[in-house]
Structure 1
Amino acid sequence: MAAAAPSRRLLLLLLVLNLLTSSTSTAPYDPPTVPELMDRFGLPRALLPKTARRYLLHSDGSFELFLDDGCEVEAGAYRVLYDIRLSGSVAPGAVTGLEGVRVRVLFVWVPITGVEVSGGVVTLSVGPVKKSFPAVGFKASPLCSTAAAAVAVDVA
């Protein structure tokens, strides 16, 4: 009986060592970057400025995306204002319930509430109106022209 105790200890020690080595050999979690995430959902990378680097993506598709600072960009004839925090829901080819992005229409900042991408066309929901653009116009992420320090007035 005395010989069985050392063999049990040795077996227990081997099990513990096996658990320790197997748990440390797993690779650390390396989440996709914002541009990689845009690719996975079939959305043009150029929908977001380059300062979009951090995000939270929940299993139901809801997300929060964070920019380094507020950002204003020129997109063709339009001025677009990004808050520091954007949120909404994402699915393949679509963003719904978008908050934190506005476009200047005449003298008023109007929220962009959704994005759809299909058949080479990007459709933006601006309030109750939808405006479509060729996807080829969304090749490069826009650079912020100024930090959005001024508060824009939203139209509900």
Structure 2
Amino acid sequence: MAFSPMVLVATSLCFLSLAHLSFSATDVHDLLPQYNLPKGLLPINIKSYSLSKADDTFTIELSSYPCYVKFNDQLVHFDKIIKGKLGYGKVSEVSGIRAKKFFIWVPVTGIDVDQDNGMIEFHVGSLSQKLPAKDFEIIHSCKSKGLQELFSLMESSLI
């Protein structure tokens, strides 16, 4: 019995879509610990994500924007689209995440877990800052720009 090319194409597409559905059913926050990364590294407001098994590159789309999250005393801004490359205990080639340092926003380019010291190290070009890993155990929600403005007012009152 011969199969027509259309039946083979349709069957292949069906299997591919089923594979994608089962993959997308996994919450990205549950995927992070498999790479020795804390669940709370990303906000809860994830609309969709994709992960290339070939090279561990990922793309994440947030459901709400703007997205500000405060980790301890550090204000972080997440773009609508976040990209990077996962590795065990690290994220490299990061785009779409910025941290406020003094009065400017600086792009986060990499993240490393320092498990021995219980810290998460954020790279901003050649500079870095460590924050306690416990600050990333909880998955935070995105806040609006109002949080950023409030944080700026607090900073200016300290000067």
Are 2:71 and 2:136, in contact at CA under 8 Å, matched by a contact in 1?
A: no
Q: Which residue of 1 aligns with 2:86?
A: 90
Q: Which residue of 1 aligns with 2:43?
A: 49
Q: Does 1:38 find its partner at 2:36? A: no
Q: Does 1:121 find its partner at 2:115? A: no
Q: Which residue of 1 aligns with 2:6?
A: none
Q: Normalised by the size of structure 2, how large is the TM-score? A: 0.71
Q: Which has the higher helix share?
A: 2
- Per mean C-alpha deviation after superposition, the further-off stretch among 105-114 and 133-142 is 133-142
Q: Which residue of 2 aligns with 1:154?
A: none
Q: What amino acid is aligned across from residue 134 of structure 1 in structure 2?
A: P
Q: State the alpha-carbon separation in 2 of the partners of residues 126 and 143 from structure 1.
A: 23
Q: Which residue of 1 aligns with 2:153?
A: none
Max Rg structure = 1
Specify which of 128, 131, 137 is matched with residue 129 of structure 2.
131
Q: Normalised by the size of structure 1, how large is the TM-score? A: 0.72
Deviations 1:110-146, CA, capped at 9 Å, x for gaps: 0011111131221110232111122122111122120
Q: Which residue of 1 aligns with 2:101?
A: 105
- Aligned CA RMSD, in angstroms, stands at 2.2
Deviations 1:13-65, CA, capped at 9 Å, x for gaps: xxxxxxxxxxx9xxx43112111111211111111100124111111111111
Are 1:34 and 1:53, in contact at CA under 8 Å, matched by a contact in 2?
A: no
TM-superposed CA distance for 1:67, in Å, is: 0.7
Tell me the SS of whatever aligns to 1:99: strand
Q: Which residue of 2 aligns with 1:17?
A: none
Q: What amino acid is aligned across from residue 80 of structure 1 in structure 2?
A: V
Tell me the SS of whatever aligns to 1:38: helix
Q: What amino acid is aligned across from residue 126 of structure 1 in structure 2?
A: V
Tell me the SS of whatever aligns to 1:140: coil
**Structure 1: unaligned runs, 5 residues or longer:** 1-11, 13-23, 151-156
The alignment of Structure 1 onto Structure 2 pairs a total of residues equal to 125
Q: State the alpha-carbon separation in 1 of the partners of residues 108 and 70 from structure 2.
A: 15
